[in-house]
Structure formats: C-alpha cells, structure tokens
Amino acid sequence: MPIEVALKPIGVFDSGIGGMTVVKELFTTVPHEAIVYFGDTARVPYGAKSRETVRRYAREDTELMLAHGVKMIVVACNTVSAVALDEVERMAGSIPVIGMIAPTAKEAVRATRSGRIGIIGTEATVASKAYEEAIAREAALQGKSCETFAAACPLFVPLAEEGWTNHPATHLIAEEYLRPLREHKIDTLVLGCTHYPVLLDVIQKTIGKDVTLVNSGAEAAKLVAQQISEPHTPYPIPHTLILVSDMPRKFQQIGERFLGRPMPEAKLVTWRESWVVT
Amino acid sequence: MPIEVALKPIGVFDSGIGGMTVVKELFTTVPHEAIVYFGDTARVPYGAKSRETVRRYAREDTELMLAHGVKMIVVACNTVSAVALDEVERMAGSIPVIGMIAPTAKEAVRATRSGRIGIIGTEATVASKAYEEAIAREAALQGKSCETFAAACPLFVPLAEEGWTNHPATHLIAEEYLRPLREHKIDTLVLGCTHYPVLLDVIQKTIGKDVTLVNSGAEAAKLVAQQISEPHTPYPIPHTLILVSDMPRKFQQIGERFLGRPMPEAKLVTWRESWVVT
C-alpha cells in the first residue's frame, strides 16, 4: 500500500452510537489506524425505517465518508449492510467496503455444530433476509447444512441507548424475543445489530450459556485487519475523528460507556433540506 | 370566519404517529373540520434529540403545513411545543398556532386539589422545563399554589410504537419511571407526550387510581374547538389528508390502532438534503 494511501483514515458509519462497538474492536485489530466515524444521531434509528429511506441515508453517509478521503469504508450498521451495501459499494468505486453481514455469516457457519443458527436484528435487517441468504451461501462454501431462525428485537436499541443493561424489564423483553429461538434449539446466535453487544450479558443469560454468540462488529473488525496489509501504518499518534449529526455531548458520554475508555470530542455535522411532495 | 377561510383545513403535525391521538380528539371536538396531518416518520423520534435539531425540524414541518394552506396549526408534539413553539408562531404569522403545553398546564392546575402535579414526557420536553413554567403561570392566574415533579420516560415511546400496552415489561418500566412521582404524592399527572394515551391503562394502574391524568391532546383539541367559532364548517364530507416522510403503510396500521377506526391511506413526502460540515 503506498504511503499516501496508508496514511488515510478508515471511514466507519452507523445510524448512531451502535457503531462505536465496532470502533472498539478496530482499536484492538488495527490500533495504528486513523478512524473517521459518523453517527447520524439526528435521524437515528434506521432499523424501523423503510428500505428506500435507509438507502437514501446510506448514500448521504457515504458522501460524507468520501469527503473525508477515507481509504476504506466500514458500514458499522447491520441495517445499512442488509439493505444498502450495494449503494455504498457503487459510490465507493475502488475503495473497499466492509459490511457487517458477510464476515458475521462466515463466522456463524464456522462456529455452529448443530447447524441451527439464530439471528437477531432490527425489523429492517430481519425483513431483508440478508443474513439468511449470506448464511446459505457460506454453508454451501463450507459444506455444512444450516437452518436459520430470525427474530426482530426492536426494543433492544432503545434499551441499549438508555443503558438498561441489567434491568428486570430488559430480562423480560429479552425472554419475550429470544424464547422462540431457544425453543428452536439454536447453538449459535448472530448479534445482527451493532447495539447488541451492550446487552451481551442479558442475551447470553436468556438464550443459554451453551449458545455461541457471534458479534458482527468483532467479525468485521477482523476482516478489516486482514485487508489492511501493513500492521503498522506510520501515524505517530493514531487519531480518531468523531462526527455526529446531533447531540455531540450525549454521544460522547454514551460512546465512552460503549468503548470503556475516554474518547475525543464529537463534532457536529448538519445538512440542508427542502421538502418535495412526491 | 369568511367562508374561504372556514373551508381551509386544520394542520396538525408530530414527529411521527403520536399526534394521531390528538387527531382522534379533534374528530370529537371539531368533527366537521378537514385535517392535514404530517408525521415525520423518517426522522422520528424528536424527544431524544437536541433543541437546535428539533427547532430545525419544526421549521421544516411548519413550511409543509403552510404549503397546504392551513387555517390553524396544531403542534401535536409536546417536544416541539416545549422547545420550538415560538419558531412555529413566527413562521405562521397571523395563522393561529395551538401548542400542547398551555392548555394542558391550565387543565392540570384546574384539576389538582393538593397542588402536587407530576409531569411525564420525553427527555427534551422535561429538560426544557416548559411545563413547570406554564404551570407556575397558570397557578398564579388561578390563585393556586402548585408544586411540580417531572420524570422523563424515554422508553414509553418505543413501547407505544410496538403496541406493548399491557406487557409485564411495560409495567416494570412504568414502575421504574413513576415510582418517584408516586412517592411525591402527586394527585394530578400530565401526560406530556402524545404517545402516552396509548399506555393510559398501565400509567393509571402504576401511579394509582386516585391520580387524575391530564391528556395533552384532549386539552389541545378542546382549545381548537373554542377557537373555531363555527361548529359546522360547510364541508359536505370532511376529509383528512395524512402525509408522512416514511413507512406510509406501517403508519396507517398503527394509526388505525391509535384512532380505533379506519383511516385514509397515508401519502409519502420526501425532501432533498446535502451535507454541510459546521
């Protein structure tokens, strides 16, 4: 990789704060890389919105990443990865794009012994069936037979945002969402939303301790490390630029909880709008 | 009121579906009026977003209302009413604007016997202290002495959107939010978010059956009826136009649950955007 490319940052974006769990993994797998993160906190959440709207937001998020001269784009949002990855790839041209779905499906198929894989995610991710398709492709490649069971968990995102990681209500809600998957006797569960690692303990306890949880952010971060050939790009102090479309201070507070360490001040980005009646 | 004004619709807007609880009340108080409703479902929720962002969204929502030739604007969103009513009024000029806060505060002060009033709402509404100030003004006018106790209930909106109106988790969450208000021995509780009437039963059960609940949408709808002097404007069949910025079909489904009756097809409105780094 030429030095002028190596010096460029990795772009990471999400609908909001969830993608910071991916940044946390990148700090481990590619600690010497600079990162530009964008969280679209003025329009969060994406997971309950339509395919068309998510694709429009994804195009605008990608535009912002490209404007920052990134050398790679990590789509740290399962919803965007599920319904708009082709749009991001089209706009990125020769710049590599890493989505959440493919590396996570690969690891889930590798990890399962019984072939019974559960998938949890937002309504949009589950409705897209992107994980089912990726797991079927991977199962064929790895010569395994897999069956999938999916459940949308819309309240997990607001619970994670609120930091209710061990509240009795969170346990009840997890029980409601995960009971059908437990009854299907899955042995592997895909955490198909970057918010869910925040609720890892309650999810593991509810689904059962013998079920392997596959964290999409961690799998994507491993793939980033494989694709960045130089282990040490020559930043003297690798820096992280955090951009958000709203609430920079709240983002920083919750982000530090997600990262488990201090993070740089988040900067505000806004956009112009005008109504168009269609 | 001149006939050409009487014939114009009442504009009603909210961040999403919550304002339909206000439309439901308007169907009772002004059944002969035409209504143009806008729910900003592409950017919902507003209640966890910043004052600046909510003010920008409110300006854009008002622009859409004015483009539809409304004769009155009902801000069917407590968050916008709390932080951006002045912006809506400025843009509306001579067109009357009805917010949620003033009529609700008036009724809460009228209803209380002990003077101990609880307020629940979104984070943005509670942080604004708009209800505290309006209740203090009303208490002075009505010659009463009132004390207020506020609690933000961020998970109530997603629970209402999910339709979990009687789930054990909803009861636990309500207990967590409302316990401090119960301990303060309030006798009146302001439902300071247009989503909350959907959770009326669980809120009443949790706070205690002797506490009077004041529904902001119902109070605003009474004020609309007072300001519309003609009881019967001459629409042969009063019509309702529903506009949303995303998910028209889901909006219609949930809207019919909120209204308790069929509603017209929701139409999609979109807008152009371009990033501006500030």
Report the pLDDT value the prediction gives residue B3, as an integer from 0 to 100. 64
**Under 8 Å CB-to-CB from B227, ≥6 apart: which residues?**
B72, B96, B98
Contacts of A53 in chain B (CB under 8 A): 42, 245-247
Active-site residues of B: which are they? Answer: 77, 193
Residue among A42, A169, A276 minimizing CB distance to B272:
A276
CB-CB under 8 Å, A276 with B273: no
Q: Are strands B266-277 and A266-277 parallel, antiparallel or unpaired?
A: antiparallel
Q: Tens of pLDDT along A122-136?
A: 999 999 999 999 999
CB-CB under 8 Å, B269 with A271: no
CB-CB under 8 Å, A278 with B270: yes
Name the minimum distance, in Å, from the CA of B222 to any CA of chain A.
31
Report the pLDDT value the prediction gives residue B260, as an integer from 0 to 100. 80
Structure-model confidence comparison of residues B268 and B84, the more confident one:
B84
- Give Rg (Cα) of chain B: 18
Report the pLDDT value the prediction gives residue A262, as an integer from 0 to 100. 86
Q: Cβ(B63)–Cβ(B88) under 8 Å? A: no
Name the minimum distance, in Å, from the CA of A209 to any CA of chain B.
23
Residue among B41, B268, B272 minimizing CB distance to A274:
B272
- One DSSP character per residue, A104-166 reads HHHHHHHH-SSSEEEEEE-HHHHHHTHHHHHHHHHHHHHT---EEEEEE-TTHHHHHHHT-SS
Residue A29 has pLDDT above 60, yes or no: yes
Residue A237 has pLDDT above 70, yes or no: no
- Cβ count within 10 A of residue B4: 9
Give the ranges where chain A is alpha helix by DSSP (H).
Answer: 3-6, 20-29, 51-67, 78-92, 101-111, 123-128, 130-142, 156-162, 168-183, 200-207, 216-227, 248-259
Contacts across the A-B interface (CB distance below 8 Å): 108
**Under 8 Å CB-to-CB from B28, ≥6 apart: which residues?**
B221
CB-CB under 8 Å, A48 with B161: yes
Residue A177 has pLDDT above 80, yes or no: yes
Give the ranges where chain B is alpha helix by DSSP (H).
Answer: 3-6, 20-29, 51-67, 78-92, 101-111, 123-128, 130-142, 156-162, 168-183, 200-207, 216-227, 248-259
Residue among A76, A77, A124, A242 flagged as catalytic:
A77
Return the structure tokens found at B23.
Answer: 């439309």
**Under 8 Å CB-to-CB from A222, ≥6 apart: which residues?**
A25, A29, A103
Domains of chain A: 3-99+219-268 (3.40.50.1860), 101-216 (3.40.50.1860)
Closest CA to A163 of A34, A57, A255: A255
Contacts of A162 in chain B (CB under 8 A): 154-155
Name the minimum distance, in Å, from the CA of A74 to any CA of chain B.
20
CA distance A145 to A12: 33
Q: Cβ(A192)–Cβ(A125) under 8 Å? A: yes
Contacts of A41 in chain B (CB under 8 A): 49
Average pLDDT on B89-97 reads 97
Active site residue A153: no
Contacts of B167 in chain A (CB under 8 A): 172, 176
3-state secondary structure of A243: strand
Closest residue on chain A to B61 (Cα): A275
CA distance B67 to B149: 39
CA distance B159 to B154: 9
Tell me, what's the ipTM?
0.86
CB-CB under 8 Å, A172 with B162: no
φ, ψ dihedrals at A198, nearest 5°? -65, -30
Closest CA to B215 of B30, B82, B21, B12: B21
Closest CA to B43 of B196, B259, B267, B247: B247
Q: Tens of pLDDT along A182-214?
A: 999 999 999 999 999 999 999 999 999 999 999
Query: In a mutagenesis test of the A interface, which of B17, B44, B49 is the best target, namely the one with the most A β-carbons within 10 Å?
Result: B49
Q: Give burial (CB, 10 Å; 0-12/13-18/19+) of B262.
A: exposed
Contacts of B269 in chain A (CB under 8 A): 275-278
Q: CA–CA distance from A56 to each of A34, A50, B41, B54 (Å)? A: 27, 10, 14, 21
3-state secondary structure of A64: helix
CA distance B180 to B152: 11
Confidence band, pLDDT 50/70/90 cuts, at residue A258: confident
Residue among A43, A49, A64 minimizing CB distance to B275:
A64
Distance of CA A199 to the CA centre of its chain: 14
Query: In a mutagenesis test of the A interface, which of B53, B165, B170 is the best target, namely the one with the most A β-carbons within 10 Å?
Result: B53
Question: Edge-to-edge, what's the strand order for the sheet holding A240-244?
Answer: A97-98, A72-75, A10-14, A35-39, A240-244, A266-277, B266-277, B240-244, B35-39, B10-14, B72-75, B97-98
Find which of A272-276, B33-37, B145-149, B234-238 is predicted with most confidence, using mean pLDDT. B145-149
Residue A2 has pLDDT above 70, yes or no: no
Closest CA to A96 of A265, A226, A277, A253: A226
Report the pLDDT value the prediction gives residue A274, as an integer from 0 to 100. 54
Q: Tens of pLDDT along A53-108?
A: 999 999 999 999 999 999 999 999 999 999 999 999 999 999 999 999 999 999 99
Return the structure tokens found at A201.
Answer: 């303990």
Residues of B with CB under 8 A from a CB of A: 41-43, 48-50, 52-53, 56, 60, 63-64, 67, 154-155, 158-159, 161-162, 164, 167-169, 172-173, 176, 243, 245-247, 268-278
CA distance B61 to B74: 11
Return the structure tokens found at B115.
Answer: 């003077």
Q: Tens of pLDDT along B11-67?
A: 999 999 999 999 999 999 998 888 999 999 999 999 999 999 999 999 999 999 999
CB-CB under 8 Å, B49 with A41: yes
Contacts of B254 in chain A (CB under 8 A): none
Report the pLDDT value the prediction gives residue A260, as an integer from 0 to 100. 80
Residues of A with CB under 8 A from a CB of B: 41-43, 48-50, 52-53, 56, 60, 63-64, 67, 154-155, 158-159, 161-162, 164, 167-169, 172-173, 176, 243, 245-247, 268-278
Report the pLDDT value the prediction gives residue B240, as an integer from 0 to 100. 84
Structure-model confidence comparison of residues A68 and A274, the more confident one:
A68
The residues pairing with B277 across neighbouring beta strands, listed in sequence order, are A269
CB-CB under 8 Å, B155 with A167: no
Q: Tens of pLDDT along B215-264?
A: 999 999 999 999 986 655 555 555 788 999 999 998 998 888 888 888 88
Residue among A159, A173, A273 minimizing CB distance to B273:
A273
Q: In whole numbers, what is the pLDDT of chain B averaged over residues?
A: 91
Closest residue on chain B to A173 (Cα): B169
